[in-house]
Chains A and B, each alone.
Chain A
């Protein structure tokens, strides 16, 4: 009995220590080995490599954009959960609950502002992140598939934004759902133009699945709420996990090879010095059938790597804090907008989407099917396939792949901008096919409109560059640059140059008064 009681008291005495040992199964991260174990043995950290190349810590390798996106996602998740405490997904109550959040709930306005700003920043940074990865050729083998995963995340980010700004059930929300659902139904245009019977109106099925009805109402709000707070976060979380995990599996971030280390400066000092031959490990470890090669890293680039703990963690924390700071600052200064209560009888004039969809809205104003479905699908698939169509081996991590790439990019900016401006200027000044031939069949307008021509012209220009430069990488740079420039110009036109009835105005001061 005494022995049993003694053991019990002894265990009780040691409880803090044994519990800690069971929680953290390695010593304090004071040695490189323990630091590696910290990352390797921690569920939340093990998505990182245990050691990373020191060049990948340089700000200008990544500009911290990927980590920023994760940071924005975390900020959005936390603020989103807080908003859900008061938000009511009902057409009668949603608008009032947002007003309550804005005027009554303690910190409600601030939290909603942060949520809104983080959402905007996330879309903007997704573009920047994509551009960084593209222009440094970081999509090349073995990272092709991770580029595809990134495109998925990009599309889901836009779906998050779309489903999110519907929830306040104001004018913006109501008409955005109406337009979105009708874009989903726009394949009907083709069926109708071809004279097919109603059984071919597949668009109606898509619209009904989105809205749960034939018009926008409570069912639609419930469905978009479900997407925004449940389905999309689950999918997004899983895909983010794959995206980050594959960075590690694909050999870390792309970075320029053999970058000289500035002596005694910055991260260079963190690296352990190169091991002299006699000090190199006698034994290498082959992880059979798990890791390619017999001795991952050992003796090869050992001297170029640093432990992820603490250097990477510190960098990530810094970027996270910077993002928090930006969101908090913006949230303190600028309020998230709330329009008038949804009015199914009168759309706003002009009824404009948030900035990132205004380029699409411009395209949709040429043709719903082409601008809303066909061109976006071609663009997303086209961008996703770039790593498979451009397989030139070259050092990754070099911006624009050198001076030739810079020339192609600059030229593509000019060409892409000229084409995009023409695509807007011609219909604005001269009208389009229907103005010239009033009885033209609709199928011709679906096929031939400024949006489809612009997309085709960008494709032709990229192929021309491939042929002239004899390089698929140069063609890819041309295509991607055109995409960015076209997006920017159409977004600018939609944001600043379109007024009531989507008419063209050089400035808002020229808008008619009513």
Chain B
């Protein structure tokens, strides 16, 4: 009697082969279309305003100025050394921190930050973000909310 072995594998009946090929093709097609559909909800262009914004002319920020730009939740501090921008978005879960005598406190989950943004208590995983400042061609200050700057680096206007 014929014994199938490694060198002489049993024949796959044609009907079984076509069966499996059909199921495999359908599976691949369905899986492929699901992957294709999953691509749709992930936007390739973010439908929002630029994360860079014009904070104002340097003359508006004489040394000693503290100004919160509420539209962008950014706090501009001006000293003799220059201008710096601190994001007021809590690094924990995105609420807006409020000033307190010791620095900043978050109303949502109680994170606490020092005046220069260091975490001093609560669940926040990292310090408040200092943001890069640059000059626009007309001389006004541009703050980029996507680019983090080292803490307390002041931009010379």
Contacts and interface: CB of A to CB of B under 8 A. Distances in A.
Interface string A324-350: 000000000000000000001111111
A175 B120 contact: no
A175 B108 contact: yes
Contacts of A186: 93
B70 interface: yes
Contacts of A217: 47-48
A297 interface: no
Given A178-B95, A208-B43, A214-B46, A501 B107 contact: yes
Interface string A212-227: 1111011100010000
A434 B47 contact: no
A51 B41 CA distance: 47
Interface in A405-446: 431, 434-435, 438, 442, 445-446
A512 to B, nearest CB: 11
B110 A502 contact: yes
A368 B124 CA distance: 8
Contact of B123 (A215, A219, A347, A367): A367
A469 interface: no
Contacts of B123: 364-368, 371, 445, 449
Contacts of A308: none
B15 interface: no
Contacts, number: 106
Given A214-B46, A434-B121, A501-B110, A349 B98 contact: yes
B interface bracket (residues with beta carbon within 8 Å of A): 20 to 34
Interface class of chain B by DSSP: loop
A189 interface: yes
Interface in B96-145: 96, 98, 100, 105-110, 119-123, 125-126
A212 B107 contact: no
A361 B107 contact: no
Interface of B: 41-43, 46-48, 51, 70-71, 73, 92-96, 98, 100, 105-110, 119-123, 125-126
23 contacts: A178-B94, A178-B95, A179-B93, A181-B94, A182-B94, A183-B93, A189-B125, A192-B126, A193-B125, A212-B43, A212-B47, A213-B48, A223-B41, A346-B96, A347-B96, A347-B108, A361-B109, A365-B110, A365-B123, A367-B123, A367-B125, A368-B123, A502-B109
